[in-house]
Structure 1
Amino acid sequence: MEGKKSETASCGRDLNYVANIESSLQSISQQGFDFLCVPIVHPRFEREFVLTLPPRPGPLTRSDMCLSSSDWTVFVVGKLSPWINLDSDVPGVRTNSEKAFMEEMKYAVHLSLPAIMMKLKTIKCVNFARCVYQLLNTRMCASIWIQVPMMSPKNCTDYINTVKDEEQAEDTWEWWNIFRSLCDNHKMLGLALEVSKDLPPENELDRWLGEPIKVGILSTDIFLLNKKGYPVLPKAHQVFITKLFKLNIQLVLTGSSRVDKGIHSYKLYLDHLYQLREADNGEDEFCKGYEDYLQCPLQPLMDNLESQTYEVFEKDPVKYSQYQKAIYEALLDRVSQDEAATKISVVMVVGAGRGPLVKASLKAAQDAQRLIRVYAIEKNPNAVVTLRNLQLEEWGNDVTVVSCDMRKWQAPEKADIMVSELLGSFGDNELSPECLDGAQSFLKHDGISIPCSYTSYVVPISSPKLHADLTSTEIKQKGNENFYEMLYVVRLKNVHFLSDVQPCFTFVHPKKDIPTNNERFCCLKFPVTTNSTVHGFAGFFDAVLYNQINISIAPANYSKGMFSWFPVYIPIKNPFYVKNGQDITFNIWRVVTEAKVWYEWAVSTPTVSHVHNIYGQSQWIGL
């Protein structure tokens, strides 16, 4: 049963009215749907609390005993009555709506529904958001799904009358942005996005993908008929729905069947689309559970890594293959065919860990038919145990193991090739520049460093989820705000890039002019093409190992299948709103002292932030 579920899209059926909820559940289950979206109260059952009319006789809604508690908890999503208008200009209507809202919410909590869906119809939503926020701050367990249209209906007169700015009036993301901001981006608040028949421009579509979407709502009106009379989505919608699948988002089908094949044929098509999505690879399997999960970066120079950490990264199928190619090319360039049988190249692996780069060096030499003598330098005494066992059992005299900090080692000879994997997710954030500067003393004047250069990259992002996680941490730590001024390693998923990625800091090895300072400053200007909220910046790196052989986590030239590094998240303490056409100016410093290295950063347009992590007060990397 579980295997079957993994091959089908999780999809609910939206109905405006059901006479018998038990039979309706059985029916949608037979049609392949996983849950039912149904009004908590009959759509025509309006209640009067503030007028002098006699109360309506009979029960408020159906009995909770018509389903078992487990069925209510798993298979039913409640919908708020559409007549409730919490932002009415008429005081009596607003007050009456508030009382009806609380009545329905209390009954939904009584039923233990997993989620409650409410429709956002206008940008005028302050009191609506207030009532929802009040609810979210109680002990209720249900999620709140705010149903928002992807595009504003042209005939939405109530909305147009409340907004003067026509451009803003058409942008329903503005409705959602105001609503969720009023609710302080509460973690139990999700977006139920109504996919429109005519899709907006790509940059606006991608902006929605950075929001906390829980479900995508598809109307049967969107579907076309193929030659055999089956429903299919237009190409553009297929692409967008596939992107939703990558975010593990559920779907909800609304509207009546428009084909002879019945409503089941729509679900079959969505399952087919789900099965056509890009198959999981080793990278996806490795990253499962780490999506949008904030982690502090490793500090391998200051801390000794554990065996499990080494083991995880040694499984990377791409990194060591690229390193082996680079060493192979370097050996061929270093030693001609005529000298192959007599000339020995000295290869020094600095920061050898448990030996994967040593193995790559030996294999590259074997493939290139070149002679090498390898030194494996490692400061972690625990990893050195592994290296010496490998030397005893496999490598023999081909490898010399050195237990020492590479910056302090007195090498017996100079190296032809120096190999290292000291790169962090932001390129230099694990202090590769400082380490390789120290090790450069035992590299020949014409020696080769692998990698020979690396560059960090930055882009502004919108990600309510990442920032909400920091807010949650602040609350748990009783107001400790240091968490907003630290870099995090994170597998980015529910994120929207607001501009093109730009290069930041570059380091080259070996350095020709010694000593040179590893401090850096960079000011980057990012043009924005759609209204958005900025929650921080994403950081990446790419590295040239040798000649044209590189490894990269930067989006433009990403090394597909490589999972040794996740991007970094650089938060902004106070998220800010940015308009289409404005520029975001980002300033970042790399500061170096004798004892430590840290980053400081600030925004200077379109708003001005304070300088984050001043003097490394929240985060630094020890030398």
Structure 2
Amino acid sequence: MDTDSSLSMDDMPMFFVGHHESKRSHPVTEQLLHHAQDLNYDMLTAPITNAHFQARVLTALSTYFTDLQSSPTKDLPLPLITPLSPADTLHAPNDSISQLLALTSPWIDLASPDPVIAHISRQVFTLEIAYAAFCGFGNVIVQGPKLHHGDLHGQGVAQYARAIQEALAIGQYINIQIMLPMTDDPNDESHDDVGNLSRFVRDEYVATSAQKGKSEVDTFGTWDAWNVVRTVCKYNQRVSVALTFPPNLPPAPVQRRWFSEPLRLLSFPATTFVKNKKGYWVLPIAHQMLLFRYMRLRTVPWILLTDVGPIPGVDDPDMIMTTGTGFLPQDAVTIPTHEPTPAEAAKAQPQKKPTDPTPHLSYMRHLQRNQPPKTQIERFGSGYQDYLQAPLQPLTDNLESITYEVFEKDPVKYEWYERAIEAALKDWAALKKPPSSPDGAVVVAVVGAGRGPLVTRALRASKNSGVRIQAWAVEKNPNAYVLLQRHNRDSWDGAVTVVKSDMRYWRGPHRGDGTHGHVDIIVSELLGSFADNELSPECLDGVQHVLNPTHGISIPQSYTAHLTPASAPKLHADVTTRSFTDSTAPETPHVVMLHAIDYLSTILPTNSNQNHPASPTGGSYAAAVRTGATSVPSDSSMLSPHIQQAWEFVHPVQPSILAQSQLRRGGSAAGGVGGATGGDGANEHNSRSSRTAFKCKNRGVCHGIAGYFESVLYAREGKDANGEKVELSTNPVTMDAKSRDMISWFPIWFPLKNPMYIPDDSEIFISMWRQTDDRKVWYEWMVESFVEVGGRKLRVAVTEVHTSRKAGCLM
């Protein structure tokens, strides 16, 4: 796989690769670290304590159990582990500490049901965390909770989580990575280490059934344990996951779930590698694709090569380098002082080319150089992934030029608008519709013209279609108005009439006799991330009075809002952090390039050849990026996120609706009793509501609602139309088919204040409202979950009604 030669390495994720031995044969000294760096490793793992400390702890435990047996009352104080001594650890504060990943003792059991084992484990853990913090370690790897003790399953996870919470307070600048396998397979739990404290759990604290057999794999079991840990730690951003890859990857839903979590380390044991036909150690193709996918996270995880063999050369004094310069020390070079003997000469003959001393590392560097190139969306969105932004308020704020410029970089949107305008002009001519201008030209008005890209496209569509137009550009932003006039002078040859006005108060094209005419085609780009969240309905209602009442066309003609529940722990952590300074953050819909998320509800596509999340190995890598596909296609990876329509707006609006709206404005008796949420109800026709259901096969946590839109810019008219439409879509299920690679809009995110746990085989209901009081528009939302028990649907959780009224969009 070759990268795009036009892309620099700066455009691709860097691989930071570390060496990890679960039972390192040599102490991690500064000399060993430099030697590893000379071999092209970036870092090493280093146990905080050593075998001497483990032996001391085991002795204390053994002594306690012996004393307990001989005690007549069986009532002894729990054993205490004395502070560390120089014999217990080799580490001390130094400059190289930052290049080491500290390891807490994997032989403790913080989740043990035996109170003695749990007590000793917690003491050991506390001592190690405190000393690591003192030495200046920035990152500490902690073995995940032991989930199986006899027939007990997951009973000690809360106890483990509490220990992690305490560790965060002890080491206030330490980042903790929880080492976890991708799935909970009880048959893989190691019992070989005779010094592991879990082996000393007393029988009265575990129940072991007489029937022995192979236990079932819980594919989401370790994720479930992780969810407890991070929930207890309140989504602290100093707690993340060190994920261990298995030889055989779990189903795609599990892979996608881990993608949404805060991955800091990816561990590749030697067992995940296989030899190819040439005898080189490589990763299977599915592992490669999953690695590439995980390396596209906004915070790129580090890689650990685990138990792939010791650091080469540590047992050979002639190979060990005393500095990290890459040069051999002077005393390693020997200079001959006499004529060599035949034996010495033979020994000095060139040997066979040595084999690669670090084949697994070399392969990782090979993958780094040969990553799939970033898609256009990835390159554009670099830095925006999972970054929350407040939605624009174009009616109340005058946008800066740079904001317009970002939108204008879209390679698709304006091309599609031009196609829509051209199709509308051709249909207008073919159907022989009478234009509104006295000279027979079709009147086209771009309302909310900004810096004028749609005006340029309208002029180009007129030229391509051969249909003459009279062009108008309406813009309220006084700064953009200056630029529009310059464009009209320098680029449009005076072919456009530029008007400074809020479109809602524009009286229409003025005539020489002082009257105002109609517009045949109104073109606007007022759509927001949820279709209507930037007040497109209100704006187009306000300008509809200038539209040709018989044949007038609005581009866009319609738009729909779509939504789905999603798990997004990183976004929840971000919203929680923002809430300390902004109380409205948990109830503000944010615009965000959704990336590290997991869709909780998935379905098989209705058309297997259309719009499903393709594998990154195929041509539609962009679809994989949007939907979270992480492996080669399989039955489960062909699933598509279940995204449903909430509501629709159509333009132009029926005149009778606008007439009733005008009647209500002012609060006359004929206008009714007023709006449900305040005001006279003049804008109540633009209120909407929906309640949608989503099946969730796998357990998870709902952190919020992902929102998208689809829009019909123009649907062809006439006998030869054949249902042709020019459409835009940010919906990841339909985007490839309708407007692939469009980058003007990111999705919208409706957060939940308190995440909702979703059981296996449950159903989520999302209630969404678009509310208005005639002065502003806001959204309200709530989520419920149900499970079926004995044929009855039982509600198991419900959120409060969230409202963005305080941060509503002003009209």
TM-score, length-scaled by structure 2:
0.71
| Equivalent in the alignment of 1:24 | 32
Shift of 1:62: 0.8
Identify the residue that residue 255 of structure 1 maps to in structure 2. Answer: 307
CA distance in 1, matches of 2:256, 2:688: 33
Asked whether 1:296 is paired with 2:381, we answer: no
Q: Give the superposition deviation at 1:227.
A: 0.8
User: Which of 581, 593, 608 does residue 798 from structure 2 map onto?
Assistant: 608
- How many angstroms does 1:426 deviate by? 0.5
State the Cα deviation string for residues 322-368 of structure 1 (Å, max 9, x = none): 1112112222222249999x852111101101111111111222222
**Per residue, is there more strand in 1 or in 2?**
1
1:484 aligns with 2:563: no
Q: Deviations over 1:29-57 (max 9, x none)?
A: 23332211221122563144764899997
Aligned residue for 2:707, secondary structure, equals strand
SS in 1 for 2:562: strand
User: Aligned residue for 1:40?
Assistant: 48
Give the equivalent residue in structure 1 for 2:644.
Answer: 502
Deviation at 1:209, TM superposition (A): 1.1
Task: Work out whether 1:365 is the aligned partner of 2:479.
Answer: no
Residues 39 and 565 (structure 1), Cα distance of their counterparts in 2 relative to 1, 3 Å cut: same
Q: Which runs of 5+ in 2 are unaligned?
A: 1-7, 61-77, 148-153, 192-197, 200-204, 210-214, 313-353, 509-515, 602-641, 659-684, 716-724, 787-796
Match of 1:375 among 468, 472, 494: 472
Q: Determine the C-alpha separation between the residues in 1 that align with 2:206 and 2:656.
A: 68
Aligned residue in 1 for 2:734:
557
User: For residues 194 and 126 of structure 1, what CA distance do their matches in structure 2 show?
Assistant: 22
Match of 1:580 among 736, 760, 763: 760
Please state how far the C-alpha of 1:185 moved relative to its aligned partner.
1.3
Any residues of structure 2 matched to 1:198-347 within 5 Å, and which? Answer: 198-247=248-297, 248-256=300-308, 262=356, 264-336=358-430, 343-347=440-444
Shift of 1:163: 11
* Alignment match, 2:19: 13
Give 3-state SS (helix, strand or coil) of 1:397's partner. Answer: coil
Amino acid at match of 1:562: M
Q: Which residue of the partner structure matches residue 532 of structure 1?
A: 700
Q: Judging changes above 3 Å, is the alpha-carbon distance between structure 1 residues 560 and 246 closer, same or farther for their aligned structure 2 residues?
A: farther
Give the C-alpha shift of residue 557 in structure 1. 2.2
Equivalent position SS for 2:686: coil
Match of 2:553 in 1: 448
User: Contact 1:217/1:254 (CA < 8 Å) preserved in 2?
Assistant: yes
SS class of match (2:529): coil
Larger deviation: 572-581 or 233-242? 233-242
Task: Show CA shifts across 1:214-241 (max 9, x none).
Answer: 1111112111111111122222222211
The superposition leaves residues 118-167 of structure 1 with CA deviations (integer Å, 9 ceiling, x where unpaired) of: 01132323232212212223562221000111122332487996899967
3-state SS, counterpart of residue 802 of structure 2: coil
Between the aligned partners of 1:204 and 1:54, the Cα distance in structure 2 is: 42
Q: Are the equivalent residues in 1 in contact too, given 2:129–2:171 (CA < 8 A)?
A: no
Could you tell me whether the CA contact under 8 Å between 2:562 and 2:731 is conserved in 1?
yes
- Residue 6 (structure 1) shift: 5.0
Match of 1:61 in 2: 89
SS for the counterpart of 1:382 is helix
**Equivalent position amino acid for 2:308 in 1:** S
Q: Which residue of 2 aligns with 1:622?
A: 810
Give the counterpart letter for 1:495 in structure 2.
I
Q: Which amino acid aligns with 1:330?
A: A
Q: How many matched pairs?
A: 613
The amino acid across from 2:565 in the alignment is P
Between Structure 1 and Structure 2, whose CA radius of gyration is higher? 2
Alpha carbons of structure 1 residues 3 and 609: separation in structure 2 relative to 1, 3 Å: closer
Q: 1:273 to 1:424 in 2, by over 3 A?
A: same
Q: Greater CA deviation, 48-57 or 436-445?
A: 48-57
- For the 8 Å contact 1:203–1:529, the answer to whether it is kept is no
For residues 342-491 of structure 1, the aligned pairs below 5 Å read 343-411=440-508, 412-444=516-548, 445-476=550-581, 480=583, 482-491=584-593
Check whether the contact 2:242–2:265 (CA below 8 A) recurs between aligned residues.
Answer: yes
**Closer, same or farther: CA 13–620 of 1 in aligned 2, 3 Å:** same
Matched, 1:179 2:179: no
Change in CA separation of 1:52 and 1:518 when aligned onto 2, cut-off 3 Å:
closer
CA distance in 2, matches of 1:605, 1:57: 53
CA distance in 2, matches of 1:242, 1:410: 56
Contact 2:178 2:239 (8 Å CA) reproduced: yes
CA distance 1:441–1:561, shift in 2 (3 Å): same
Q: 1:276 to 1:417 in 2, by over 3 A?
A: farther
Distance 1:585 1:51 in 2: 52
Contact 2:566 2:706 in 1 (8 A): yes
- Structure 2 distance, partners of 1:83, 1:41, is 11
Secondary structure at 2:373 match in 1: coil
Summarize deviations over 1:415-473 as a string: whole Å, max 9, x none: 22111000000100001011111212222222221111111111111111111112222
Q: 1:161 to 1:272 in 2, by over 3 A?
A: farther
Give, as a single letter, the amino acid of the residue that structure 2 aligns with 1:188: R
In 1, Cα distance between the equivalents of 2:166 and 2:699? 28
What does residue 103 of structure 1 align with?
127
Query: Is this contact kept in 1: 2:184–2:217, CA < 8 A?
Result: no
Corresponding position of 1:146: 178
Letter aligned with residue 432 of structure 1: S
Contact 1:458 1:502 in 2 (8 A): yes
Residues 83, 127 of structure 2: 8 Å contact kept:
no
Pairwise CA RMSD of aligned residues?
3.0
Give yes or no for the alignment of 1:87 onto 2:111.
Answer: yes
Taking structure 1 as reference, are residues 130 and 262 closer, same or farther at Cα in structure 2, changes over 3 Å only?
farther
Hey, what's the Cα distance between the residues in 1 that align with 2:227 and 2:125?
A: 22
C-alpha deviation, 1:575, in angstroms: 0.8
- The whole-number CA distance in structure 2 between the counterparts of 1:483 and 1:20 is 46
Deviation at 1:116, TM superposition (A): 0.4
**Aligned residue identity for 2:489:** L
Read off the aligned partner of 2:653 and give its amino acid letter. K
- Give the stretch that moved more between structures: 238-247 or 266-275: 266-275
Give the aligned residue type for 2:473.
A
For residues 416 and 207 of structure 2, what CA distance do their matches in structure 1 show?
Answer: 59
Structure 1 Cα separation of the partners of residues 84 and 778 of structure 2: 67
Q: Deviations over 1:242-274 (max 9, x none)?
A: 211111222211122599955632233333334
Say whether the 8 Å CA contact 1:210–1:463 is kept in structure 2. Answer: yes
Contact (CA 8 Å) 2:129, 2:170: kept in 1 or not? Answer: no
SS of 1:335's equivalent in the other structure is helix
Task: Check the 8 A contact 2:420/2:713 in 1, yes or no.
Answer: yes
CA contact (8 A) 2:137 2:174 kept: yes
Residue 416 to residue 565, structure 1, CA distance change in 2 (3 Å): same
The percent identity for this pair of structures is: 36
Q: What letter matches 1:110 in structure 2?
A: F
Contact 1:591–1:599 (8 Å) recurs in 2? yes
User: C-alpha distance in 1, partners of 2:11/2:392?
Assistant: 37
Per-residue deviation, residues 293-338 of structure 1 (Å, max 9, x unmatched): 1111011012211222122222222211211121122222222499
Offset at 1:191? Answer: 0.6
Give how far 1:186 is off.
0.8
Unaligned runs of 5+ in 1: none
